Amino acid sequence: MSAPPRRLRDRGTGMSMTVKTVMRWLKGPILLFGIYMVLYGHITPGGGFGGGVVIASAFVLITLAAGQKEGLRIFPLGMASRLDSAGLLLFLVIGWLGTWWAGGYFFENYIPTAETARFSLFSGGIIPLGNLVLGLKVASALFLVFTVLTAFHITDELLGETEVQQRQEDKS
């Protein structure tokens, strides 16, 4: 029996082998579906937010199945936080270009939306661009929210004396 490839290495954390295997099969299609939802957001149901949520759920699935260490190795916190800020900043810049470059309104659709290109991927003016950066933002923000909510646990320093006593009584 040959050694498993690096991607499939079991690091001894997370859930059982079954869950991890299913996760390995599912993470690709989920990610792909999220990206599809973001890219086609202007012509089919979906968009930056929905697609971003699906993308984030792929990373949440990895974290749940393989443990937090593995999740944060694939999507480090610093990168998630930077992408989160950069996504929204780019969205603002896209809107601002409408007043500055195109000389119209904030968030005006200044890229021509040709009649012939209707329902094709490259249509919709700034909407797909906005979807793209919002997808980036939502995916990283939701992953951050999930990680931060699961990363911390209550320590005794945060509690008052009575609560600490209560916790010790509960343990014993």
Partner 1 sequence: MFGMNTDVQAMIPMFVAVPLGMSLLIQLVARHRQVLAETLNIAAMMALVVMSWSTIGGEGIYHLGGWPTPVGIDMRMDALTTLLLLVVSIVGFAVSVYAVDYMRRFTSTSHFYSLFMLMVTGMNGVILAGDLFNLYVFLEVAAIASYSLVAFGCAHEELEASFKYIVLGSLSSALILTGVALVYGITGTLNLGHIAERIAESGMDEPLLLAFGLFIVGFGFKSALVPFHAWLPDAHPSAPAPVSAMLSGVLIKAIGIYVLARLAFNVFGISESALEMLRWLGVLSMVVGGLLAVGQKDIKRLFAFSSISQVGFMVLGLGLGSPLGMVGALYHLVNHSMFKSLLFLNAGAVEYTTGTRDLNQLGGLNGRMPVTGATSLIGSMSIAGLPPFNGFWSKLIIVLACIEGGYYMLATVAVLVSIITLAYQLKVQRMAFFAALPEALKNLRREPPMMSLAMILLAVGCVALSLLMFSGLRDPWLIGTAQQVLSAGAFGG
Q: Which residues bind partner 1 (CB under 8 A)?
A: 81-82, 85-86, 88-89, 92-93, 95-96, 98-99, 104-109, 158-160
Residue nearer to partner 1 on the CB measure, 67 or 95:
95
Q: How far apart are CA 63 and CA 74, in angstroms?
A: 9
Least Å distance, CB 106 to partner 1, is: 4
Alpha-carbon distances, residue 51 vs 32, 108, 133, 169 (angstroms): 10, 23, 11, 46
CB 15 within 8 A of CB 70: no
Residue nearer to partner 1 on the CB measure, 67 or 125:
125
Residue listed under structure tokens 């593995």: 70
Least Å distance, CB 104 to partner 1, is: 6
Q: How far apart are CA 43 and CA 71, in angstroms?
A: 32
Residue nearer to partner 1 on the CB measure, 31 or 134:
134
Residue nearer to partner 1 on the CB measure, 10 or 163:
163
Least Å distance, CB 61 to partner 1, is: 27
CB 75 within 8 A of CB 82: no
